[in-house]
């Protein structure tokens, strides 16, 4: 902070006495009474470079040392890292923007989808455009069900006639559901570890960091897949990403919560199973919404 001068005796922002160029109460830099253009530019570039540097070092720590950011935040070492919620919003925003961006650049409709085992099943085999028509009595039965009274059987008919488009519409809800379920993961971890780490918020930190890594990993995956024409290679990458995520979550849990590997793996399995059930319920609800909008 060389070359920083103090121009006033009191902070112009909060009126606290100044002992240096920065206010010890509110942190504002004492501004020059005659602002120069160079100062404005320097301020902007300093802010940007500082921010960039922090983002890069935080991302490096997030990727290379699973769980360490959470450990640092819980231990009070915070100023050096981007706050967890901001990191989560930035990484998920990048993830949600990367599909449309790739599409715009490659003129390919690379939809953002999180690869799930069901969609991994038969990647090579194109789902043939099959046209099925509902039997009248089936249509009537569906019309009378409570869900279809909202959705309507024409929508269902359209979905059946366009299985690929409807499948894509549902797939597009996965990342949004995962985004919304982030606090639920924290709740499950709180349930498992509330005696070791009391309070909900520490587990929220963990969940934010875990999801920040997940969205980053899948952003990279989409970027790589955009340049792959080989479907099997793309599939292998998807499986590798999922395995990486499982490994990462386990390693992060180990670093944050401690305990034996046996307990970590056991807890991860229980939390994973509970999450899967909640995820399926959420996805089913999202599918009904997708059908209503289809």
Q: Is 105 helix (H, G, I), strand (E, B) or coil?
A: helix
- The span from the CA of 191 to the CA of 211, in Å, is 18
From the list 4, 10, 14, 239, which residue makes contact with Zn ion (rule: CB under 5 A)? 14
- The span from the CA of 205 to the CA of 250, in Å, is 16
Cβ-based neighbour number of residue 17 at 10 Å: 11
Cβ at position 16, least distance to Zn ion in Å: 5
Question: Taking contact as CB under 5 A, which single stretch among the options 16-24, 103-111, 122-130, 196-204 is the one that binds Zn ion?
Answer: 16-24
Cβ-based neighbour number of residue 155 at 10 Å: 17
Nearer to Zn ion, 29 or 155 (CB): 29
Nearer to Zn ion, 9 or 126 (CB): 9
- How many residues touch Zn ion (CB under 5 A)? 8
Phi first, then psi, for residue 22 (nearest 5°) are: -110, 140
User: Per CB under 5 A, does 119 bind Zn ion?
Assistant: no
Here the tokens at position 105 are 């650049």
Partners of 17 in beta bridges = 10
Nearer to Zn ion, 14 or 270 (CB): 14
Question: Taking contact as CB under 5 A, which single stretch among the options 26-34, 82-90, 191-199, 275-283 is the one that binds Zn ion?
Answer: 26-34
User: Per CB under 5 A, does 26 bind Zn ion?
Assistant: yes
- The span from the CA of 130 to the CA of 127, in Å, is 8
User: Per CB under 5 A, does 25 bind Zn ion?
Assistant: yes
- Interacting residues with Zn ion (CB under 5 A): 11, 13-14, 16, 23, 25-26, 28
């Amino acid at each position: 902070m060389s070359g920083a001068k103090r121009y006033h005796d009191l902070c112009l922002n909060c009126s606290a006495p100044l002992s240096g160029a920065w206010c010890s109460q509110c942190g504002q830099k004492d501004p020059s009474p005659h602002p120069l253009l160079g100062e404005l530019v320097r301020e902007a570039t300093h802010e940007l470079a500082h921010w960039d540097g922090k983002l890069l070092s935080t991302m490096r720590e997030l990727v290379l040392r699973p769980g360490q950011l959470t450990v640092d935040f819980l231990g009070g070492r915070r100023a050096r890292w981007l706050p967890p919620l901001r990191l989560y919003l930035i990484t998920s925003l990048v993830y949600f923007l990367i599909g449309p961006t790739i599409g715009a650049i490659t003129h390919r409709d690379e939809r953002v989808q999180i690869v799930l085992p069901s969609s991994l099943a038969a990647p090579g085999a194109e789902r043939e455009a099959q046209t099925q028509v509902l039997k009248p009595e089936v249509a009537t039965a569906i019309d009378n069900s409570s869900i279809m009274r909202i959705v309507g059987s024409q929508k269902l008919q359209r979905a059946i006639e366009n299985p690929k488009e409807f499948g894509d519409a549902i797939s597009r809800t996965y990342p949004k559901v995962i985004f919304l379920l982030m606090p639920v993961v924290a709740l499950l971890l709180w349930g498992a570890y509330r005696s070791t780490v009391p309070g909900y918020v520490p587990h929220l930190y963990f969940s934010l960091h875990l999801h920040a890594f997940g969205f980053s990993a899948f952003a990279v995956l989409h970027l790589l897949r955009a340049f792959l024409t080989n479907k099997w290679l793309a599939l292998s990458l998807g499986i590798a990403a999922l395995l990486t995520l499982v490994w990462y979550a386990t390693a992060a849990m180990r670093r944050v919560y401690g305990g034996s590997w046996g307990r970590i793996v056991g807890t991860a399995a229980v939390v994973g199973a509970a999450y899967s059930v909640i995820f399926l319920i959420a996805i089913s609800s999202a599918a009904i919404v997708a059908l209503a909008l289809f």
